[in-house]
Amino acid sequence: MPELPEVEVTRRALSPLVEGRRILDLVHADPARYRDTERAVGRRILGLFRRGKFLLFRLSGGWLLVVHLGMSGGFRLQRTPHTRVVFRLEGQELYFHDPRRFGKFWAVPEAERCRVPLLCRLGPEPWDPAFTAEYLRQRLRSSRRPVKAILMDQAVVAGLGNIYADEALFLAGVRPTRRGTRVTRAEAARIRKAIPRVLEAAIEDGGTTLKDQSYRQVDEAIGYFRLRLSVYGRTGEPCPRCGTPIRRMVIQGRSAHFCPRCQR
């Protein structure tokens, strides 16, 4: 699933293509998945923003077009066999490509953005001043869940998913299975510092394109952060710090990768 870096890379690529343009039509055949999009037609795109893993098209007249990329969604400059929505704009066409069909759109008045329930339950962004080491420590210490599961809870911190939770915990030297109640103040501070560092590096590299090629940038370039992954998807390979083979286990239905020596 595209995580914060992939959504942010998409936002940065789309912004100069869409901002200031009027939406002439949004063509699709799935009104249950792409909800009330006719309400966006005729409106001008005033800005494009990101909140967690959501793209927010701010429209004239006080409306939002909210987009979640799902597991395989992304925007393209050319039509693909998996094009689900055609964006017809003044002087520009874009195509929403989504092989697995988990992406969703909502057109809602900006004042009623809570019609998209998860959007109103998101925690602070990783760069938000409210996302402090003490805030994170309190959220971790209030739960007996494994620390990785807590970090992937969008109500705790917005945008973090499977790949970057693994990478941040490796950088912080904390095993993903550690119970939140057992995370120390020093460990919480290290995790808090590691999260934005990992995300910034991934954004700089265009995100992470894995072997399944499900994520690509708007121009179909791959995301090169895969070449810098320390633990995610590297089961059995040597740890980049100590050489110990990377291990994989399942935590609450999701894979977790870690070094058993560096993350005690």
**8 counts as catalytic:** no
Q: How far is CA 35 from CA 24, 26, 71, 106, 165, in A?
A: 17, 11, 18, 5, 31
Residue range 83-106, pLDDT digits in tens: 999 999 999 999 999 999 999 999
**117 counts as catalytic:** no
Domains and CATH numbers, the chain: 4-120 (3.20.190.10), 133-258 (1.10.8.50)
Do 97 and 30 touch, CB atoms closer than 8 A? Answer: no
Mean predicted confidence (pLDDT) in 230-250: 98
List the catalytic residue out of 21, 88, 141, 254.
254
Alpha-carbon distance of 195 to 184, in angstroms, equals 17
Mean pLDDT of the chain: 97
Question: Which pLDDT belongs to residue 166?
Answer: 98
**260 counts as catalytic:** no
List the catalytic residue out of 43, 51, 53, 175.
53
List the catalytic residue out of 2, 99, 126, 176.
2
pTM above 0.85, yes or no: yes
Question: Which pLDDT belongs to residue 107?
Answer: 98
Mean predicted confidence (pLDDT) in 132-146: 97
Chain-centroid distance of CA 101 in Å reads 17
List the catalytic residue out of 3, 6, 125, 167.
3
Q: How many CB atoms lie within 10 A of CB 229?
A: 22
Residue 196's pLDDT band, with cuts at 50, 70 and 90, is: very high
Question: Which pLDDT belongs to residue 225?
Answer: 97
**104 counts as catalytic:** no
Residue range 11-65, pLDDT digits in tens: 999 999 999 999 999 999 999 999 999 999 999 999 999 999 999 999 999 999 9
Residue 1's pLDDT band, with cuts at 50, 70 and 90, is: confident
Residue range 197-206, pLDDT digits in tens: 999 999 999 9
Q: Are strands 104-109 and 34-35 parallel, antiparallel or unpaired?
A: parallel
